[in-house]
Amino acid sequence: MLTNKGNPLLTNSTSDYSSANIHHIFKHLPIQIATLLALITLSLFSSLYLWVIAVVLLLLTWQSQAWLAKAINSNKENQLYHPLQKWLQNVLALSVTALIAVEAIEKGMLASMVNLLFVATTLKFVGATQRKDHNIVLVLNVFLLATGFLFNQSIGYFIVIATLLFCNFILLASINSRALTIKEASSLIMKLVLLGLPIAALLFVGFPRLAPLWKLPNQQHASTGLSDTVEMGSIAELTRSGKLAFRAQFLKQSPLPQDLYWRTMIHERYDGKRWSIAPFRTNQSLINMPAFANEDADYVITYEPSFTKFLPVIDGGYTRHSSILSLPSRTVEHKELVTQKIQYYVKQFDEHPDKFSLTPEEVHANLTLPKFINPKTRELTKELRLQSPDTEQFAQHVMNLFSQKPFAYTLKPPLLVSYGNNQIDGFMFETKAGFCAHYASAFTFMMRLAGIPSRLVTGYLGGEYNQTQNYYSVYQFDAHAWAEIWIRGKGWTRYDPTSMVAPERILNSLQNALPSESSSIASNSFSLINYRQYAFINWLRISMNNVDFYWSRWILSFDAKSQNNLLEMLFNNKGSIARAIFVGIGLTVVLIVGFIFSRFFFANRQQSPVQLWIEDIRKIFPDLLVSQLNITPNQLLAAVELAHPCTKPQVLELKGIINSILYKNVRLTASTQRRVKRLIQVLKRQQKKTEMKK
Amino acid sequence: MINTKTYKYYRDKWLSKRIPTAKSVQLSNRSIFILPSKMGIGFLVLCFILFLTGTNYQNNLILLICYISVSLFISAMIFAYFNLKDLVLSQHKQERFYAGSNSFIHIKLGQDNQQTSKNAFSLHFKIENQPSVSLDKLTDPCVVQIPTAHLPRGKHKQPRIKVYSNFPCNLFTCWSYVDLDIHLIIYPSPKNAVEALNTRSSLPTNESKHSLHGKTDFESIRDYQKGDSPNIISWKHVAKYNDRWVSKTFEQQVSVKHWLDYNAMSGDKEARLSQLCYLVTQQGNVEFGLKLPKQIIEQNKGQQHTQNCLEALALC
């Protein structure tokens, strides 16, 4: 009975993984899925608990061994495959859940949810017996991979996750279509993704960006930005972080490097140990700033998540971003903690409304000091003040003090804790070594003693300039502290006492200012920034920086606002109708293209090899057979032989091969194919020779 | 609440208009139905959760993954449709089975045109309430064997065959119901008539005094001679002797003509037909005729004749 014309793939099966295919399935797929899960575990390394990773990897290894044993002994009847025992699975699930719940108190809900989901997926996989289970695992994997982006959004990480996602889809295709080899499955998924990419791009650009639908608990994250309090020494750790703080692209001319003081926070309250933000600032009324178009902005900042509210701007900068407030202290503040990359356009104004006036509150806050502390400094200030009654003269005097006396700039200053509330005395007269925070707080302290309203400002100084794209990358180690004093007629004026000690810190970035004791800027020795003296590595780093810049600028901070701008640009209209038309037209085009595209995939347009050979031979002898289009291969070869008798041996051999394939059903092997190609080449050469003779 | 019976009635009525009965059906947009599979719905739920997560954490990359998944879902739909499109189904041959044995229908797949062949993956075929048959990959025209229900004697119109596929990634189920106008002819189940006949003296013979008791009526075996009919080769012995071909010798095998008579059988109608069926299959190279209540088949021999007789029994 004829049921199957040489098709070995025909099977009669009713259930998943029929007995005929059970070896084929279990030999490869679970091992592959296990490998993928292990890779996903490693890719989420930073967001998973170490013990969870250990449990997952152990389970996977243990189970893989069972599958391998099963695959090897697949012909032995008694070697049955045992998934993880149900009761053991339940016990494991319960205990892991309990442990994660305990951790959740400390590490926050989000991380715990990811961990929990991860363990659940692994347990589901280890206990899987059917294709259905594997399907569930592979679908859950997509979510697991996506959660990685909650913790890391760099382009490198995106590539890793995208690759794993691709592998995940390949496995999804190959467990559901048994005939597909891994190679075929990957080409299938490649086609699906390529076909889908325009749709994905359209959705990304055109689908409305919604505001968060409900409030989520804040992510428990180590704050990496500037701290809202300054203690002598607390910035020391920050300066050693090579993390990017933000990037600023200047749309007009860029200022001189020594003017790049990115003001972020003002500290007006001093308690003898630390500087903090004055309480009256927290509920200040906002000031209205004139609106401006994005094109009129001076620069645009792409700010990395800092988990604080304060944003850096150059003094006098303001923004019209709807979620950013401009404060009377001339700083700008995000309405909520910055947990994602944000982008804002900044314009410098010429005349700040509060430039020449000071409220009584401000006067009070900027003159108040704890009584009786730092007696030596008080003494010194009194002396200096007597010498120079003019405010500016006095300030310059104090600045000079730092350059005249043997002060040193260091990121590893001696501890001042033993001085209690007299830390400034200890710094000024004993240790005489410190970094920006020390100099700035000593300076501000002395200004206040002299009756001059003054405050400590923290932010960033400088940045690394990228010439090709005209932007500055400002890193966490660019964090800086300086002072502002109130000068009648001039308003708040910046004084940076650090410049007196380490002028190169102001002109260059921090890397150059540091003495040899800390040649390594970033605490991570792998950071490429440590090798900036090598031209190639530096070039590589800067190129990677550029890619990352575009990544942040166009992908990560593409929000509702950018979306509207784009639509405005495309349609001169940002209404929802334009959006609907945009998405609609796009989707239609994509679907039409898809239909055509898939026809190519399913129509088997392959010509038989014989036809291809005949085509080739025809091309070699174009003048021979113009009139005869429908002739058999034999007729063609006979004509070739007639016209070029020297080709007789090749023609004879070709005839033999073609006839055996066409009429004797001889299978075409690779070696025959190679032989035919060689014969055709010989024909070509001979044709060329005869042409030369002519 | 519509019960299954009325649902099926209206469905079949609708289907017969949409996909009319034909000897050969080429699947097209008229006949292919497509819906997300269970897993596909799960996948969409996942996409929705990704969207919520991406929106709530204002995370563009999670949204990007969500959109990539959605676009994969859409392109899977297109691929699922083209997987079945242009598939040609036709009946491979007329099906005949004995009652009580497993019966199948054979469907030829591929394109009529031999020049181009159709690529398709993970095809499943199923007749309602019967186990399905899977074909992992279709590249050349081939024939699939689909089990049918156990059927009683007679001629049976086969219900629509469901052709479905979950390709690719099991996100969509793409299916069609085709009616290839297949009729199964089920012969009566052959029952040994010897005992029945022994109890009665009269034999259905006219011209021969030799009984024709099936296997028992050959006398000996001899070496195969060129020209022997395959019907008289003793296959059992060939198998036993390995390569030696042997033929059965029948006494008076030449010119034995006789009638198989319905009235000569015992029992009820089905029993009689069963016995006749058995006898018909045992006739070998003997000329015989068949007398049925409403039909007489003239004496003849050969395979075609045997088949005609069996068919007459099936439809009696």
The pLDDT tens digits of the residues spanning A140-161 come to: 999 999 988 888 888 888 999 9
pTM exceeding 0.80: no
User: How confident is the model over A218-236, as pLDDT tens digits?
Assistant: 444 334 457 777 777 555 5
pLDDT digits (tens, 9 = 90+) for B77-133: 988 998 888 888 888 877 788 887 888 888 888 765 555 567 788 899 999 888 888
CA distances from B194 to B67, B127, B261, B285 (A): 75, 38, 14, 19
Average pLDDT estimate for A20-25 = 44
ipTM of the prediction greater than 0.90, yes or no = no
* Better-predicted residue by pLDDT, A582 or A607: A582
Please tell me which residue, A488 or B216, carries the higher pLDDT value. A488
Give residue A264's identity as a one-letter amino acid code.
Answer: T
Q: Which of B46, B59, B72 faces A150 most closely, judged by CB atoms?
A: B59
Choose between B42 and A535: higher pLDDT: B42
Residue A3 and residue B106: Cβ atoms within 8 Å?
yes
Report which DSSP code applies to A354: T
How close, in Å, is residue A603 to chain B by CA atoms? 6
Q: Cα(A480)–Cα(A496) distance, rounded to whole angstroms?
A: 10
User: What do you get for the CA distance between the two ends of chain B, in Å?
Assistant: 42
* A334 contacts A342 by C-beta, under 8 angstroms: yes
Contact call for B56 and A192, based on CB within 8 A: no
Which residues in chain B touch residue A1, judged by CB atoms under 8 angstroms apart? 145
Instruction: Check residue A514 and give its pLDDT.
Output: 47
A537-576 pLDDT, tens digit each = 777 777 777 787 777 777 777 777 777 777 777 766 556 6
Q: pLDDT tens digits for A95-127? A: 888 888 887 777 777 778 888 888 888 888 887
Neighbour count for residue B2 (Cβ, 10 Å): 9
Q: Residue A178, by phi and psi: left (phi above 0), alpha (psi -120 to 50) or beta? A: alpha
Contacts of B166 in chain A (CB under 8 A): 176
CA distance B179 to chain A (A): 20
Q: Do B118 and A14 touch (CB under 8 A)?
A: no
Q: Nearest to residue A466, comparing CAs of A381, A543, A407?
A: A543
Chain B's closest residue to A3, CA to CA, is B143
Q: Among A340, A334, A326, A287, which residue's Cα sits nearest to residue A310? A: A334
- Measured between CB atoms, does A665 come within 8 Å of chain B? no
Nearest CA in chain B to A140: B46
A596 touches B: beta carbon within 8 Å: no
Lowest mean pLDDT, pick from A282-286, A327-331, A357-361: A282-286
Shortest CB distance from B42 goes to which of A6, A139, A603? A139
- Whether the CB of B135 is below 8 Å from some CB of chain A: the reply is yes
Q: How does pLDDT run across B57-68, given as a tens digit for each residue? A: 888 899 999 999
Tokens of B208: 């021969």
Q: Chain B 225-284, CB below 8 Å of chain A: which residues?
A: none
pLDDT of residue A507: 61
Give the whole-angstrom CA distance, residue A303 versus residue A6.
64
Instruction: Report the SS3 class of residue B201.
Output: coil
Nearest-CB residue to B168 (from A173, A558, A599) = A173
Residues B221 and B29: their CA atoms lie apart, in Å, by 62
> pLDDT at residue B202 above 50?
no
Q: Does B137 touch chain A (CB under 8 A)?
A: yes
Quickly count: other Cβ atoms within 10 Å of residue A558's Cβ: 20
**pLDDT confidence tier of residue B70, bands split at 50, 70 and 90:** very high
